[in-house]
Structure 1
Amino acid sequence: MSALERLAATIATRRGADPESSWTARLLASGPEKCAEKFGEEAIEAIIEAVRGDRARLTAEAADVLYHLLVMLAARGVTLAEVLAELERREGVSGISEKASRPD
Structure 2
Amino acid sequence: MGAPPWIKSRNPTRGFQSGQGPSMGRRMDTLHRLEATIASRRAASPEESYVAKLNARGLPKIAQKLGEEATEAVIAGVAGSNEELVGESADLLFHLLVLLGARGVSLDHVLAELDRREGLSGLEEKAMRSE
TM bucket (normalised to shorter chain) is over 0.9
Select the residue among 60, 73, 78 that pairs with 1:33.
Answer: 60
Structure showing the higher helix proportion among its residues: 1
Larger Rg: 2
Alignment partners' CA distance in 2, 1:31 and 1:78: 16
Report the residue type matching 1:29 in the other structure. Answer: A
* TM-score normalized by the length of structure 2: 0.75
* TM-score normalized by the length of structure 1: 0.93
Superposed CA RMSD: 1.3
2:94 matched to 1:63? no
The alpha carbon displacement at 1:14 in A equals 1.2
Select the residue among 2, 5, 20 that pairs with 2:47.
Answer: 20
Post-superposition Cα deviations, 1:53-89, rounded to whole Å, max 9, x if no partner, equal 4100110000000000110111111111110111111
2:5 maps to: none
- Percentage of identical aligned residues: 57
Task: Give runs of aligned pairs for residues 85-100 of structure 1, distance below 5 A.
Answer: 85-100=112-127
Query: Which one has more relative contact order, counting CA pairs under 8 Å at least 6 apart?
Result: 1
Specify every segment of 5 or more residues in structure 2 that has no aligned partner in the other structure, as ranges: 1-25
Specify every segment of 5 or more residues in structure 1 that has no aligned partner in the other structure, as ranges: none
Alignment size in residue pairs = 104
